[in-house]
Amino acid sequence: MQKELLKIFRKRLRPFTFLLSGVGLVLGLSLVLVCLQLYLSIFKSLSTEISKAEYIILSKDISFGNTLLNSAAVISPAEMDDLKKQPFVEDIGVFIPNHFKVMAYAGGGLQLVTELFFESIPDEFVDNRPYNFRWEEGDEVLPIIVSEDFINLYNYGYALSNGFPQISKSTASLVPLEVKLQGSGKIVTMKAKIVGYSERVSSVLVPQSFMKWANTEIGNYKKKEQASRIIIKLNKEYSGGLESYLENKSLLINSEKLGLSKIGAIAKIVIDVLIIVGALFVVFSFMIVLTNFSLILSEAREDLVLLFQLGFKISSLISHLFVYLLVFIIMVMMVSIGVFLYINKSLASIFADRGIAVSSEIHFELLYCIVFLLIFLLGAGLFSISRNINKQV
Amino acid sequence: MIIKFNKVTPDPLDGVTHFNTQIWDSTISFDSQNKYRINAASGRGKSTFIHLIYGLRQDYKGELFIDDINIQKIKNDKWAEIRQKHISIIFQDLRLFPELTALENINLKHTLSGFISKEKIATYFDVLKISHIKDKPAKLLSYGERQRVAILRALVQPFDLLLMDEPFSHLDAENARNAAEIISKECEERKAGYIFTSLGGESYFEIDETVLI
């Protein structure tokens, strides 16, 4: 930077106007960055929720008629075929219930007896499936996967009120269990063991091979299997249509995750509005900066003309004046990033205090945003400066 | 470098060139290797003539060529190059940056080419008797001091032709002689010629040709 040129233009720079428009720019830029960060955090945590919800469990809405006629609310084969054709469905698994009576006995001092039910689903739909969740005819121990909710219900509901000891997941799998299967005049007793816990399925799951064997050998149900509950693996790219479809077909979904995405959508709209406000701040403040620049240039008209007369190239005058803008923009951007980091940190602790899990980790997409903003601001600035100088000289 | 005037009449003189002139509305060429004196009373367009060659005015009729290129076709960047390397000028109204010091005014021009050494510049400050004011802003200098700064500024760059518009108007005889001496020396070193305008009187310069405007 040539110091004589600097001296010529320095007196024209208006520190107060630049300071004011700089403050406006910092406000706008940091607002945009903070909102984008929040947006991405919410969007990303939502999409993890939705990816957890890539499995949903459906059942038929149980009507009064079902109760009256003692008919099961089942999903008909035609309905199944139609479901398979839907774009949001990747795979469907049918829940097979037990058609025999199950009594479970807990040993090890618990002295717990309960009637129980089993369900099975195809292996690929079982989450957290341990290696030993297998059963072949002749095996003495029946592996069971129970819902995590059951352990919670037992620990915080049943155990507390009945004076039973609370048990952890790992001790629960050590409790010796015995099941008595009863049906078609047969009684089979076997050992059982909890081998895992499912977040996805609220049920007591046994391997499908066992269920098929038991329903045939012990069960009293000879009719063709009908689906009352099904589990669907959702196509990850599904875009809406799911909820309305389910409503039309009076199918019930057991997942709360879709409700969550509604809240997320509202939050997104709020953040969208804030981003627009921030962007408007940026645009208006930057227009003040550019107006200020063109004012400086028209005041410096004589200087510019004389410099040109002395042999300075217009392009070198443009690049000299552009350096002022560059320094200004970079300073503004650095302050904005500082403000953003501070707000992000404060927000993280506010969220943590309220128990909201929003990551304060900075998303790398912000870097694109910063680069884009820099290119936009500097590009528009360069255009405006060179247009103004060419007009003056 | 040949500068050719072909029936050029500046708009302000249009219709009033009844006086005897060798330049306006005539065909005349100037060779950059020669030394010209342009003589005239006020109001005959001396400064206009200088500014036309330097590319500062477009308001004229006729054609003006530098090396067979019509100057109206010369682009801004080319003018910048011509003014950096081929034609230097001492404006009648000096045109210094008032807030820059004498030395800064020189340096501003010097950075464009770095043509002569800083030591030589310092020597010329001495010769022109302006060393003591070199760190004073131009706006605080007397007209005579400013005129010497403007003369020195014109000499720190390379050129084929030096244009001088009444360069010694505010100098006493001794200062004018000193200035003329270093101007002649610098032109000699560059094998450059000059065109200077004068209201008449002593010229202090070697002259090949006197042209009446």
Look at the block and give the residue holding tokens 């829940």: A95
The chain-wide mean pLDDT, for chain B, equals 92
Q: What is the pLDDT of residue A239?
A: 57
Looking at per-residue pLDDT, the higher value among A232 and B152 belongs to: B152
Question: Is pLDDT larger for residue A358 or for residue B106?
Answer: B106
What element of type H or E holds A365? helix A365-392
On whether any CB of chain B is under 8 Å from the CB of A65, the answer is no
Q: Is the CB of A306 less than 8 angstroms away from the CB of B95?
A: yes
- What is the C-alpha to C-alpha distance for residues B46 and A224, in angstroms, rounded to an integer? 115
The helix or strand, by DSSP H or E, that contains position A56, with its residue range, turns out to be strand A55-60
Nearest-Cα distance to chain B for A304, in Å, is: 11
Is A207 exposed, middle or buried, given 0-12, 13-18 or 19+ CB atoms closer than 10 A?
Answer: buried
Cα–Cα separations (whole angstroms), residue A142 to A102, A332, B44: 13, 67, 118
Give the H/E segment covering residue A262. Answer: helix A257-299
Nearest CA in chain A to B102: A4
Report residue A369 as tokens: 């945003």
Burial class (CB in 10 A: 0-12, 13-18, 19+), A358: middle
Closest CA to A119 of A254, A251, A229: A229
Model pLDDT, residue B141: 96
CB A308 to CB B80 under 8 A? yes
Contact residues on chain A for B109, CB-CB shorter than 8 A: 310-311
- CB nearest to A314's CB, from B54, B76, B82: B76
Amino acid making up residue B184: S
Q: Do the beta carbons of residue B115 and residue B156 sit within 8 Å?
A: yes
List of chain B residues whose C-beta atoms are within 8 Å of the C-beta of residue A8: 97, 99-100
Q: Which of A177, A60, A176, A54 is nearest to A127 (CA)?
A: A54
Note whether A324 and A13 are within 8 A (CB).
Answer: yes
Alpha-carbon distance of A163 to A257, in angstroms, equals 35
Q: E strands along chain B, which residues? A: 2-10, 27-31, 35-39, 60-66, 69-70, 87-90, 161-165, 193-198, 209-212
Query: Distance between CA A57 and CA A255 in Å, rounded?
Result: 7
CB pairs under 8 A between A and B: 50
Tokens read off for B83: 């003014």
Residue to test with chain A: of B108, B110, B134, B155, most A Cβ within 10 A: B108
Residues 6+ apart with CB under 8 A from A12: A296, A299, A300
Interface residue A315 vs chain B (CB under 8 A): yes
Closest partner residue to A311 (CB to CB) among B56, B84, B107 is B84
- The tally of CA atoms less than 13 A away on the side-chain side of residue A291 is 8
pLDDT value, residue B18 = 66
pTM for the structure as a whole: 0.66
pLDDT for position A112: 76
Surface-to-core class of residue A48, CB atoms within 10 Å of its CB (0-12 exposed, 13-18 middle, 19+ buried):
exposed
- Pick from A208, A202, A229: which is nearest to A147 by CA? A202
Q: What is the pLDDT of residue B135?
A: 96
The residue ranking higher by pLDDT, B179 or A217, is B179
**Residue at token pair 């469907």:** A92
Higher pLDDT, A112 or B8: B8
**Which of A43, A355, A59 shows the shortest CA–CA distance to A203?**
A59
Is the confidence at residue B143, as pLDDT, over 60?
yes
Query: What is the model's pLDDT at position A108?
Result: 65
pLDDT band at B147 (very low <50, low <70, confident <90, very high): very high
Whether B46 has a pLDDT exceeding 60, the answer reads yes
A chain contacts of residue B83, beta-carbon cutoff 8 Å = 309-311
Q: Considering only alpha carbons, which residue of chain A is nearest residue B99? A: A8
Of residues B118 and A156, the one with the higher pLDDT is: B118
Query: Which ranges constitute the DSSP H helices of B32-113?
Result: 46-53, 76-85, 102-113
What's the angle, vertex CA A363, arms to CA A359 and CA A365, rounded to 5? 150
Burial track A149-159 (b if 16+ CB lie within 10 A, e otherwise): ebbeebbeeeb
- In sequence order, which residues have a C-beta less than 8 Å from that of residue A246 and are 6 or more positions away? A58, A252, A253
Whether the CB-CB separation of A94 and A121 falls below 8 Å is answered with yes
Task: Count the alpha carbons within 13 Å of B13 in the hemisphere toward its beta carbon.
Answer: 24
| Contact criterion met (CB below 8 Å) for A110 and A90 | no
Which carries the bigger pLDDT value, residue B191 or residue A11? B191
What per-residue confidence (pLDDT) applies to A338? 96
The values of phi and psi at residue B196, to 5°, are -130, 150
Distance CA A197, CA A151 (A): 9
Over chain A (393 residues), what is each successive 10-residue block's mean pLDDT? Answer: 86 87 93 88 66 70 69 76 81 85 79 84 81 85 86 78 77 82 84 84 87 82 69 72 75 62 72 88 90 89 94 94 94 96 89 72 90 94 93 82
More confident residue, A47 or B44: B44
> What is the structure's pLDDT at A157?
77
Which of A30-39, A75-84, B33-42, B174-183 has the least mean pLDDT? A75-84
Separation of alpha carbons A266 and A264, rounded Å? 5
Contacts of A310 in chain B (CB under 8 A): 83, 108-109, 112
